[in-house]
Amino acid sequence: MRTSHTSAYQEMMINSKLLEVPRGSYQRELNAKRVRKIAAKFDPRLVNPPKVSYRNGRYYVFDGQHTIAVLKLLNGGRDLMIRCIVYTGMTESEEALLFAQQAGEAAKLTPGDKMRAMIYGGDPECMAFLKATESVGLRLDYAQRRGKHRIGCIGTAFEEFKRVGADLYKEALSLIVAAWHGDPESLRAETIQSVTRFIELYRQEYDPRRLVTRLHKTDPLTIYREGRAMGVNMAGYKKYLYQVFCIYNGSSKKKVLPMKF
């Protein structure tokens, strides 16, 4: 038996009927379609043992639920003995944080999967991100389906939060909400990123009321459509930032901001 941080672990053969997946907390739902796809090209020599936490007399799978499902499928749907790496001495929060760090062989974690697990595990930065998002009337959609008052582009939003800090991130989101009232199309990655960067660039110069008014009069898809239409004429986020810049300035010659990017 070896020790990693505060948890000991060892390899064990465990009957699959004893392996539990904590989907009610930090785990994602099983992707049956992916299980069938993996099973069709399965090579037993490349199997990574599922990682399991032995807690309160039960075996909880925090990495490898798709591997277990594939092995059962290939065994005619019947339970079987599976070689696992079993950890002892872990809390459920520690399991969630380890789950978020494990990509696994069967199914790569999405930003939503990882964020949900990190928040469940109590990661301070992720908890602060959640609090900042919810403070402006929005919520994170871990399934990454954009909807009314729901942010699906979790990876992009989190990167902006980390880059500019909570205050500027909340300022950007609050202005987006004020302009479009949580319209799903206003919560695209391109909009969140471009509005955040606009505020970062012009924070001491722009008028928040003017920005909200100008954005409100604009179809929320405009930033995405017009930016994409620019093709390679402007690189990356700048073509979407340019749309926010143009919307803010409009045709007026008063309170016009200079181009800085």
**Residue 96 near residue 25 (C-beta atoms within 8 A):** yes
DSSP code, position 186? G
104: Cα within 13 Å, side-chain hemisphere = 24
Task: Return the SS3 of 81.
Answer: strand
Angstrom distances, CA of residue 192 to CA of 57, 105, 125, 215: 46, 32, 19, 13
pLDDT means per 10 residues, the chain with 261 residues, are: 59 96 86 90 86 95 92 95 94 91 65 94 97 98 93 97 98 98 97 97 95 97 94 85 96 85 89
pLDDT at site 103: 55
pLDDT at site 27: 86
pLDDT at site 192: 98
**Residue 142 near residue 152 (C-beta atoms within 8 A):** no
Angstrom distances, CA of residue 48 to CA of 24, 64, 103, 157, 192: 24, 8, 11, 32, 38
pLDDT at site 4: 43
